[in-house]
Structure 1
Amino acid sequence: METKLAADIDEHIALFQEVRQSLLGEVVAVGRQLWTCMERGNKILVAGNGGSAADAQHFAAELVGRYMMERRALPAIALTTDTSILTAVGNDYGYDQVFSRQVEGLGKAGDVFIGISTSGNSENLVRALESAKALGVTTVALVGKSGGKMKDLADIVLLVPSQNTPRIQEAQQWIWHTWCSLIDQFHG
């Protein structure tokens, strides 16, 4: 068991070294873009499924609440939280539209939509990216593996270079935590 755990840690460290080399500059650029979006009076919409839904909610909570420093509440909405909308849209239109319908109702040009997925192939996120683009909303795909369908749709793609779902999620969490840290710094 300890050998497996040590291998997991080694894999985590190796991935983060690769993320540092290949994605750090883009992570910073997106963080700056998110701050600019909110400073202009626009908002961040974020969604994902399963563990990525939890990440979407956590990220939005850090912005509306606070991350590491006291500051004003920032406009961010996790599209994963309203069970009435999710179940109504899922029932009436299909689960593949639970996020796109919300983007259509809440999104406007100048906003940013972030789709979080380990595979990049979640149909409800693909449709949300399409709806966001149609509205002039900037789209960000935070994905792993090959990037899936989302890679070809998003304006900005942050592709975590791993095939291992837990490692992808660990890196994705670091990325959006880093965005929170940058936003705190830009705010200060």
Structure 2
Amino acid sequence: MDDFIYAKIIDGDIIFFFEEGCTQKELFEQFQKKLNMMKNFFKMGDSFYIYLKDDTQYNLLPKVAKFASTLNLQLAGAYFGDLPSVKKSKKELNLSSTKIFRKHVRSGQVIENPGDIIIFGNINKGAEVNAGGSVIVFGKVAGIIRAGLSNKRNVFIIASQMESSLIEIAEIPLFNYQWPETPVSIRTTGDEALVEQLEI
């Protein structure tokens, strides 16, 4: 198995999944590579969880925690065997198919990804973001967002501030919508788009 460790965001937590059928040495080496590849995603002091499908590998925990501390990260906890039902019922973002941008999307720029998109910045007027899945924006949206282009189920758009004249989710357009001044969440229910105020 080439990718026997992968990361997802579930209910706001970053969880590294450790697959079965590998030695502890293979798992730990792959985890070191994966965490080093993703270190720009984290901020100093951030935490994450791990999920060991093979619960006999529990003695990996001290090694994982020690290595994380060298990158100024923290192991917040671990799951074994099976995820709790509360986590299973939540929307997942698979980070291997998610594009993460730590910058503003400027006028004239087009960002596309067949999976989910997370943006730590603004989407300026004249910019466009197209995602097969969901879009999360930690900033102001004045440009165009199209989400759910390939996956029309369980997709959503979240923005800290929404001022866009065109948002489209699962092919349902919202033209010149009167957005609330609070952070917003947009999701589909049946053939309609539902806009909700979001408390962060």
TM-score, normalized by the shorter chain, greater than 0.5: no
Name the structure where helix makes up a greater proportion of residues.
Answer: 1
**TM-score, normalization: structure 1?**
0.30
Name the structure where strand makes up a greater proportion of residues.
Answer: 2
RCO comparison, higher one (Cα < 8 Å, 6+): 1
**Structure with the greater alpha carbon radius of gyration:** 2
